[in-house]
Amino acid sequence: MTHKPDFHSHPVALITGAARRLGAAMAEFLHLQGFDLVLHYFHSGPEAEALAQRLNGRRADSVHLVRADLSDPIAVRELANRALRSFGRLDALINNASQFFPTPIATATDQDWERLFHTNLRAPYILSQALSEALKAHQGCIINIADVYAHRPLKEHSLYNASKAALVSLTQSLAQELAPDIRVNAIAPGAILWPDQTGAEADSTNTVPASYQQAILQKVALGRLGTPEDIARAAWFLIAEAPYITGQILNVDGGRTLTI
Ligand SMILES: NC(=O)c1ccc[n+]([C@@H]2O[C@H](COP(=O)([O-])OP(=O)(O)OC[C@H]3O[C@@H](n4cnc5c(N)ncnc54)[C@H](OP(=O)(O)O)[C@@H]3O)[C@@H](O)[C@H]2O)c1
């Protein structure tokens, strides 16, 4: 793929699913560290606009937005093209966007399979493929956001679990294939934000029953949820502080994988 000559002085990251929650936390953190950002979103237009406006208020023209449905491979390739055209360079790709919902084997459909695998696995692959030349030019890196459930499955979520296990495998394969120019790693979060809970409401509003929350937290060695900033710090570590680390899966889970 061709991209503009490198004239842009700030490093640039593309983050998928960046309007809210963990994606938005990584965007805030990288921006504070001096990154310019291409932020992808799909349905969360108002949240994406608000985030971009806030960050552009801190540093003019430092954040561009791109909307795309990651289940559509043509749209994913167009996202890659638009990301490259945004600032003319790319240093980091964070595949964060994800579908998450139960798929009990008695009722799971072909459409469930497609939604989960196309967004959670195929889109990260296409973006890695389309952006590898640009990343290589800056000895860049790819971070895939996986899940501790990739290898310790969450009951009745077999398709989600499998999509994340495949993303872990893809991380290792691409780390091998894209070395030595591009490092490829994954972060496997444990319990950070309950589903449907916004980052701002982390301790107050959610749709997950208290008993279920307690059952999960009992399995976390540190006895509490992580924060979106924990994930952002891990991403920053892999981007900026880990030049000799590739093909690794970093669990950020408060010790949850010690017990599940
Ligand atoms: N939250 C946790 O505690 C936790 C735990 C383990 C792993 N993780 C992983 O960490 C990452 C972030 O977690 P999260 O809870 O912040 O994620 P999330 O809120 O469930 O999803 C992040 C974003 O993905 C985007 N997305 C989903 N399907 C899409 C599609 N077909 N096309 C385009 N965008 C799509 C959505 O963007 P729009 O809203 O703009 O549509 C959504 O806001 C995910 O990969 C998740 O699997 C999270």
201-226 per-position pLDDT tens digit: 344 445 789 999 999 999 999 999 99
Q: Is residue 154 part of a domain?
A: yes
**241 lies in some domain:** yes
Question: What burial letters (b/e) apply to 130-165, b meaning 16+ CB within 10 Å?
Answer: bbbebbeebebbbbbbbbbbbbebbeebbbbbbbbb
CATH of the domain at 27: 3.40.50.720
Is 149 a member of any domain? Answer: yes
Using the predicted structure, report yes or no on whether residue 154 has a pLDDT greater than 50.
yes
Please report the pLDDT score of residue 5 as a whole number.
Answer: 53
The pLDDT of residue 78 is above 60: yes
Mean pLDDT, to the nearest integer, of 66-77?
98
In this prediction, residue 260 carries a pLDDT of: 56
User: Per the structure, how many domains does the chain have?
Assistant: 1
Model pLDDT, residue 3:
54
Q: Which residue minimizes the CA distance to atom 3 of ligand 1?
A: 192
Backbone dihedral region for residue 88 (phi beyond 0: left; psi -120 to 50: alpha; all else: beta): left
Give the model's pLDDT for residue 205: 47
Q: What average pLDDT score do residues 22-26 get?
A: 98
Residue 77 pLDDT level (bands cut at 50, 70, 90): very high
Contacts of 255 (CB under 8 A, 6+ apart): 220, 221, 222
Q: Which residue, among 216, 235, 234, has the nearest Cα to 224 in the 3D structure?
A: 216
- Per the domain annotation, does 3 fall within a domain? no
**CB-based contacts of 47, cutoff 8 Å, min separation 6:** 19, 20, 24, 41
Range of the domain at 193: 12-258
Ligand 1 centroid to 99 CA: how many Å?
6
C-alpha 16 to ligand 1 mean position (Å): 9
- Starting at the edge strand found earlier in the chain, the sheet holding 183-189 runs 63-67, 36-41, 12-15, 92-95, 141-145, 183-189, 249-252
Interval 157-195: pLDDT, tens: 999 999 999 999 999 999 999 999 999 999 999 999 998
Is the CB of 22 within 6 Å of ligand 1? yes
pLDDT of residue 8: 86
The residue whose C-alpha atom lies closest to atom 7 belonging to ligand 1 is 147
Ligand 1 centroid distance, CA of 5 (Å) = 32
Q: Is the pLDDT of residue 59 over 90?
A: yes
Closest residue to atom 14 of ligand 1, CA basis: 22
Q: What is the 3-state secondary structure (H, E, C) of 174-243?
A: HHHHHCCCCEEEEEEECCCCCCCCCHHHCCCCCCCCHHHHHHHHCCCCCCCCCCHHHHHHHHHHHHHCCC
What amino acid is encoded at 86 in this protein? S
Query: What pLDDT was estimated at residue 96?
Result: 99
Q: Is ligand 1 within 6 A of the CB of residue 21?
A: yes
What 3-state DSSP class applies to 95? strand
Beta carbon of 230 within 6 Å of any ligand 1 atom: no
Given this model, what pLDDT does residue 203 score?
Answer: 42
Cα first-last separation, the chain: 43
Across 144-166, average pLDDT: 97
pLDDT score for 129: 98
Ligand 1, atom 10, residue with closest C-alpha? 145
Helices (H) and strands (E) in the chain, counts: 8, 7
Q: Whose CA is nearest to atom 11 of ligand 1?
A: 96
Asked if residue 6 is part of any domain, the answer here is no
CB of 41 within 6 A of ligand 1: the answer is yes
Within a domain: 169: yes
Interval 220-255: pLDDT, tens: 999 999 999 999 999 999 999 999 999 999 999 999
CA distance 243 to 260: 31
Catalytic residue among 125, 149, 160, 212: 160
Residue 5 counted as domain residue: no
Answer yes or no: is 240 within a domain: yes
- At residue 200, the pLDDT reads 41
pTM for the full model?
0.95
Joined tokens for residue 1:
């793929």
**Catalytic residue list contains 160:** yes
Q: How far is the CA of 96 from the centre of ligand 1 (A)?
A: 6
Distance CA 132, CA 142 (A): 9
**How far, in Å, CA of 179 to CA of 56, rounded?**
34
Mean of the pLDDT values across residues 111-133?
98
* Per-residue pLDDT, 88: 96
Q: Where does the pLDDT of residue 259 fall: very low under 50, low under 70, confident under 90, or very high at 90 and above? A: confident
